Structure 1
């Protein structure tokens, strides 16, 4: 045991084991404790079925869910889509069982006669806040992104262990591992090399931005495609275009001033010239 705490090779081995232990413990925690409930929830979602709007929410949030909801209502005959993507309630069509779709249908029914609604309004307008809230509430609570910041934690561990190795080797007056004849300043390069290697290992952990469940994503894409593919291509493209907010109109151009023409006493015409009144007191711009 003293060899691990005093000898150069032992110190290096000891801190390597500490770093390996950090990775093993983190992996065991993620697999056995953290992800167990989510794995069960994902299995239940895939085997039990999922409404296309909820599947879209798991894939792309409320924006994707709004797109699928409009397609579903249009396919059921509840909404009519114009050539420019404007949405109108038909006051007929199949009744909706989903509370979110029922709320969207009722809100679209309240649109004033002669007006249409665009997809971007359903995504952004306060009129449809309750629809977006119901979509989020109905969707299963599954963490779709990598969580826990494992990559960051392992990067911190590699940095702390590299520093700990250096501070451990200094007071112990230990020789350089695998190079007992080398100057002890080489320990600096050993610690730097360990940090680079540890950072590479940390980079192998899933990024916090990466999606976690490939099987769930594939299942949700299939469910999302059902109402979207049921519409004619022209109707679907019109809905997609209506999801883009039009740019604001450009500001009005400033009025242009054109020189006036005045008639001289002798009957000829000449261009009018504006004279700055500040020059009147000095006899014109040539005055001092």
Structure 2
């Protein structure tokens, strides 16, 4: 590194350390996403059910809404204007095991019917949830925490480089001057390195863009012909009224929303490049 003055070589090594952290983080993301890529290729080759695809698009609430919509299209249930789902008398039981379990739960409710949010946590619909969960594709929906890790590395490396220069009484590279100026250099260097972390997607952004679009198209195709009135009616009972804590049921690992609550229905929009994007 003849182009670097002697007082600047240690700073170059610190910056190379930051580059190494980012390279290692990219390799970790690549390895961690290998299983997802294999699963996605298999699903695109073999297909996926609309309810399972809906889970990938919007988790439990989207899956329940899709399942009820399919039952409506099959003539197995009806939805009132208030969003109450009731079974149609003498309707044949669906062949799909997931839809069959949901239909049985709705039929057990009788004239009382069920609301969409009850399908998510009521005991009557535990068989439906138990049948659905093993069929949900084990594909992570959100990006890795690459930006957070890189941001910590930026802060640590900028502080370490400044502290090193100050302790060793090294003149500022290319600028010279009093070594005490390293105290002022810390924050500008930290800011520049932090800007580099923006190349990583936020951990709350969606991953696997084309797969999310594929699942969304699968859901839209399956629900084609569902009346708008039914869609709006289901939306009215998508969330439970705040009258106390909702029933607690065992957590499915890796299927909860980032804040620990039940995921709201969201679209299939995904993040851009970096380790969080892909496909």
Which TM-score band applies after superposition, normalised by the shorter structure?
0.7 to 0.9
In 2 relative to 1, CA 156–243 (structure 1 residues): closer, same or farther, beyond 3 Å? closer
C-alpha deviation, 1:191, in angstroms: 2.3
- 1:138 pairs with 2:135: yes
Residue 78 of structure 2 aligns to a residue in which SS? strand
Name which one, 1 or 2, has greater alpha-carbon Rg: 1
> What residue in structure 2 maps to residue 200 of structure 1?
195
Are the equivalent residues in 1 in contact too, given 2:165–2:179 (CA < 8 A)? no
C-alpha deviation, 1:127, in angstroms: 1.8
Are the equivalent residues in 2 in contact too, given 1:71–1:231 (CA < 8 A)? yes
- Between the aligned partners of 2:192 and 2:242, the Cα distance in structure 1 is 49
Count of residue correspondences: 243
> What residue in structure 2 maps to residue 74 of structure 1?
72
- Between the aligned partners of 2:181 and 2:166, the Cα distance in structure 1 is 11
C-alpha deviation, 1:123, in angstroms: 2.5
- 1:221 pairs with 2:247: no
- Between the aligned partners of 1:203 and 1:239, the Cα distance in structure 2 is 39
Are the equivalent residues in 2 in contact too, given 1:103–1:131 (CA < 8 A)? yes
C-alpha deviation, 1:2, in angstroms: 11
Residue 128 of structure 2 aligns to a residue in which SS? helix
> What residue in structure 2 maps to residue 191 of structure 1?
186
- Between the aligned partners of 2:83 and 2:234, the Cα distance in structure 1 is 5
Residue 183 of structure 2 aligns to a residue in which SS? helix
> What residue in structure 1 maps to residue 61 of structure 2?
63
> What residue in structure 1 maps to residue 148 of structure 2?
152
Instruction: Give me the CA root mean square deviation.
Output: 2.3
Unmatched 5+ residue regions in structure 1?
A: 249-288
Are the equivalent residues in 2 in contact too, given 1:87–1:117 (CA < 8 A)? yes
> What residue in structure 1 maps to residue 204 of structure 2?
209
> What residue in structure 2 maps to residue 119 of structure 1?
116
> What residue in structure 1 maps to residue 250 of structure 2?
none
C-alpha deviation, 1:156, in angstroms: 1.3
> What residue in structure 1 maps to residue 254 of structure 2?
none
Unmatched 5+ residue regions in structure 2?
A: 244-279
The 5-angstrom pairing of residues 1-288 of structure 1 reads 7-31=6-30, 33-93=31-91, 95-112=93-110, 114-147=111-144, 149-180=145-176, 182-245=177-240
Structure 1, residues 12-48: CA drift from partner, whole Å, max 9, x if none? 21111111111112112222x1111111111222222
Are the equivalent residues in 2 in contact too, given 1:65–1:135 (CA < 8 A)? no
C-alpha deviation, 1:246, in angstroms: 5.3
Structure 1, residues 186-208: CA drift from partner, whole Å, max 9, x if none? 21222222111111112321111
- Between the aligned partners of 1:214 and 1:16, the Cα distance in structure 2 is 32
TM-score between both structures, scaled by the size of structure 1: 0.77
